[in-house]
Amino acid sequence: MKDLGLLLMLLPAIAGAEVMDKVGTLSLVWSWGVGLTAAGYMAGRYRPWLLVGVFLLLLVLFGALISDVTSADIGPTIQSEAGSFYIGSVWTFPFLVALSAALGTWFRRQAAHPEPTPDAPRKP
């Protein structure tokens, strides 16, 4: 029985694991990306001060993923295990969040200062 316990203690030393077991899955990347894109638009449109929180979350969540993808030691392994779509998703979502925040802010400004129509009566 002692030998079995010793053998079981050595098991983790010989077990192999892939790199993708340690980084976020594609569904997690998409969940974060879509959620932060929607949050960026809504914050820019209705509560611009919330953009600070959205961009802090973006920095933490996607900063770690981009760091892993660009790493010289595990980046190529992630590329071979997860594929180009994963890498593209990791790089695309931060830009989509920034774009959605900019669009939300633009729509907010347009609603605050609507342009008068040509046939509308002018105020004296």
Q: What is the pLDDT of residues 24-64, one digit of tens each?
A: 889 999 999 999 999 999 999 999 999 999 999 999 999 99
Q: Does the pLDDT at position 21 exceed 70?
A: yes
- The rounded distance, in Å, linking the Cα atoms of 12 and 102 is 48
73-116 residue pLDDT tens: 999 999 999 999 999 999 999 999 999 999 999 999 998 887 76
The alpha helices in 1-124, defined as continuous H runs, are 2-14, 26-46, 51-70, 75-82, 84-112
pLDDT of residue 12: 56
- Nearest Cα to 40, choosing from 89, 106, 111? 106
Considering the entire predicted model, what is its pTM?
0.76
Domain ranges of the chain: 23-110
Across the chain, mean pLDDT equals 86
**Tell me, what's the pLDDT at 121?**
65
Which residue from 72, 86, 98 is spatially nearest to 23, judged by alpha carbons? 86
31 vs 43: CA distance, rounded Å: 18
Quote the CA–CA distance of 52 and 67 in Å, as a whole number: 21
Asked whether 102 and 40 are in contact (CB, 8 A), the reply is no
Q: What percent of the chain has pLDDT over 70?
A: 79
Chain centre distance of CA 118 = 43
